[in-house]
Amino acid sequence: MLWLALFSTQSAAHDFWIEPEHFRPKAGVSVPIRLFVGQDFTGEPVPYIPETIERYMVATARGIEPVQATTGDDPAGSFVPTVGLSVIAYESQEYDVKFDSYDEFERYLKKEGLERHIELAAKHRERGNIKEIYTRHAKALLVTPGTSDIAPDRAMGLAMEFLADAIPYGPGEFSARLLFHGEPLEDSLVILFRKDKPLEKIKVRTDKQGRVVVRLPAKGIWLATSVHMVRAPFYARHDWRSFWASLTFEVY
């Protein structure tokens, strides 16, 4: 399938995010969900292709349910929100990417805040191309208007995920934890930016509790991203394994 080939080869160093039609939906009214891959909040739509998805679900007051979608759909499914908070979560299957040179790989590590791996990677620079396996782990937070008592964000069991401490009502402090297999992920670079000013990025690293606390200066739709990488075991067919987490939400 052509689309699968394009997704796996061109999107390795790109963001992946969930963008519902409304972040403040009406309870009981179906909300279309779109998936995107790209950079700076500009991307290509990703249709619903079940072969590429490990998990795709939504948590509401009803509990956790699979997102309803048909193969090839764009928007990539929909759901009916209840009063309060809805959490959409997506986890991809594994994709592979190849870097033709060490220099290319080093630039990638620096861009994503993964400099701690440069020394180890440099020891193998003469081996030729570098192979990486990666997965996507995306969440989106939606809140029905007029809700006064909002339940906090909930962990969805993704391999890597953001967990917001509170849903932001307006510009000001935003705090969230970054979890890797359910445990706090320390010293991971988190990048936040707004849809209408995507080049104005906020960069901060997680503390020992995996938490970031930042001031969001304006209303709008925000995207938080982070990448975690580990060295593959010696018997693996690839050299590195990375995990790409994202969280979309609206400050209103």
Alpha carbon of 168 to those of 40, 55, 140, 164: distances in Å? 21, 26, 13, 9
Report the number of distinct structural domains present in the chain. Answer: 1
Beta bridge partners of 225: 191, 246
Query: Tens digits of per-residue pLDDT, 104-138?
Result: 898 988 989 889 888 888 877 767 788 999 999 99
CA neighbor of 143 nearest in space, from 121, 163, 169:
169
**What percent of the chain lies above the pLDDT cut of 70?**
91
Residue 69 belongs to domain spanning: 2-251
Token pair, residue 101, equals 């040179």
What pLDDT, on the 0 to 100 scale, is given for residue 12?
57
What pLDDT, on the 0 to 100 scale, is given for residue 169?
66
Regions of the chain with pLDDT less than 70 = 1-13, 126, 147-150, 169
Q: How far apart are CA 131 and CA 105, in angstroms?
A: 10
What pLDDT, on the 0 to 100 scale, is given for residue 119?
84
